[in-house]
Amino acid sequence: MKQQAPFHISYWFVAILGFMFIQHLLSLEQQVAQIPYSEFEQYLKDGRIDELAVTDRQIEGKLKQPLPGGQSRFVTTRIDPQLAEELKQYPVRYSGKVESTLLRDLLSWTLPALMFFGLWLFLLKRIGGGLGGGMMQIGKSKAKVYVETDMKVTFADVAGVDEAKDELKEIVDFLRDPETHGRLGGRMPKGVLLVGPPGTGKTLLARAVAGEAKVPFFSISGSEFVEMFVGVGAARVRDLFEQARAQAPAIIFIDELDALGRARGVGPLGGGHDEKEQTLNQLLVELDGFDTSAGLVLLAATNRPEILDPALLRAGRFDRQVLVDRPDKIGRVQILEVHLKKARLAPDVDPQQIAALTPGFTGADLANLVNEAALLATRRKAEAVTMEDFTAAIERIVAGLEKRNRLLNPREREVVAHHEMGHALVAMALPGVDPVHKVSIIPRGMGALGYTIQRPTEDRFLMTREELEDKMAVLLGGRAAEWLVYSQLSTGAANDLAKVTEIARAMVTRYGMSKRLGHVTLEREQNSYLGVEQMYGLPARHEYGEATATAIDEEVQAIVEEAFERTLGLLRERRELLERCAKRLLEEETLDAEELAEMVGAPKPKQLA
């Protein structure tokens, strides 16, 4: 209150001065008499005026003797002299009146000023909107803050990543009861980095941690720190951590950390004064001063850990790295059970069968699959979603949208039918190969004129040389069938050849499966952890000479040629079956596993478990 006293005294002082000024004006007004112009002329004729002061609008003067009111000074408004001469002829009292132009004068300069000020505010708001809410708010953090009542997500809503949940449950326990979990001297990890492919549920896991811990949750993307002005990102990092400390215990979640934490000094823009590097430096400083006893936890997510700066990942900053990988079959079943609760299902829908048909699908892919199946059932006005809808949705996601309007000439349809049946028959002839689920010559997607879908019986993590050779044989089945039937080759096998060549080169350069080159690795894996040589599109380094490069090319070519000859031999033995199945495929356009087994004479496929 003492600091505000001088301001109150100044207000009183200004008020007193204003009152005195107004009183002075009133007193001056009382001392000057306003008289009509006709009286002024009469006073002038009578000789009662002592002095005059003439302006363009009025006449001021002093009388020799005061008026009855005591005023000796007067003022009158001038009028046109010709009009005054005419008015003298009549017994009328006349005076001039000055037209007030105050409002017009004010508007003449205030309106342009207001328009300019309004335009300036509009432009400032537009510019400020792109800079984070205004020029004065540019350094403020744009994190979305969710209080404990806003977070409805819990660990029950997250399925298929049990190991990652177990790692994060410890963080929740620390936030709920830090004294009990720190009684043996252990401290809560400063930072937890969630690493995994897109769509595996990293952001959902972070929200579940906040929902379980019942603490405020600060969510922001790494790209929201960086702006066009240097220093803005660092200011936002400071502001974010200050807000979190004020509401501790709390969780800070930075999504897409790779947008902020790229390795410094790499690439053409690796200068030390780069805005991103300053922002990263500030984040490192905040992590160093991070007090876990205050109840703050930093969570971050990325799907590109190999490009992160090593300083971010050292002990004391992101202490724990949690892998959120694609779910296995059991995990896919759990995820499907979560999403299938929202759909009206027919009795034939089995999550086990759907999970067996979707190897490699992430949680986001499975959620999209359930939605696509529900939309397909709605489109055909069904009462419930059936297993056929899920099968059609999987084909749409994997192979693309059906292009029934893409008409092929009869010759092309025959070539495509033999091509696809070549894939299917080779797959059915080789033991241990994923069984064929469906063969079709209906065009799909961008350029596929037909497709053959195989369903794996189980998740595989290791493959032998024989299994890789079988996989190459299946891929070359279409090209071999074209050569066997038409003695010509078409462009339809371009994608198959690319996959076969990639497998053969990996066998030689990465897996050490070449007898000629031996058990050595000649090329590094492109997405190596913290492999900065692969950043910014820089080519991979080859640590071998020209002779070895020539040997690699020759060995790859030999492996592919051997696989093609093997495939061609398998189809020669089944030439009659190939013709018969291709003819049936031309008639039906689509053959499922049971129809294929019946034509080939193989036992019916087992139901997926």
- Indicate the annotated binding residues for Zn(2+): 419, 423, 496
Return binding residues for ATP. Answer: 196-203
As given in the structure block, the two tokens for residue 540 are: 């991979």
Q: Which of 395, 420, 469, 482 is catalytic?
A: 420
**177 CB-contact burial (10 Å; exposed 0-12 / middle 13-18 / buried 19+):** exposed
Sheet architecture: strand order including 191-195? 144-146, 217-221, 250-255, 296-302, 191-195, 320-323
Alpha-carbon distance values, 520 to 504, 548, 559, 581 (Å): 15, 12, 17, 44
The CA–CA distances, whole Å, from 317 to 207, 282, 306, 311, 414 equal 21, 13, 17, 8, 62
Residue 562: active-site member: no
* Residue 152, both tokens: 């409805």
Residues of the binding site: 196-203, 419, 423, 496
**Around Cβ 208, how many Cβ atoms within 10 Å?**
22
Tokens of 338: 């979560």
Which run of H or of E encompasses 297?
Answer: strand 296-302
**Which residue from 216, 214, 207 is spatially nearest to 155, judged by alpha carbons?**
207
Contacts of residue 491, defined as CB under 8 A and 6 or more positions apart, other chains included, come to none
3-state secondary structure of 252: strand
Q: How far apart are CA 514 and CA 506, in angstroms?
A: 10
Pick left, alpha or beta for residue 221 (phi over 0 → left; psi -120 to 50 → alpha; otherwise beta): beta
CA 424 to each of CA 252, 418, 428, 492: distance values in angstroms, whole numbers, following the listed order: 52, 10, 6, 16
Q: Please list the active-site residues.
A: 420
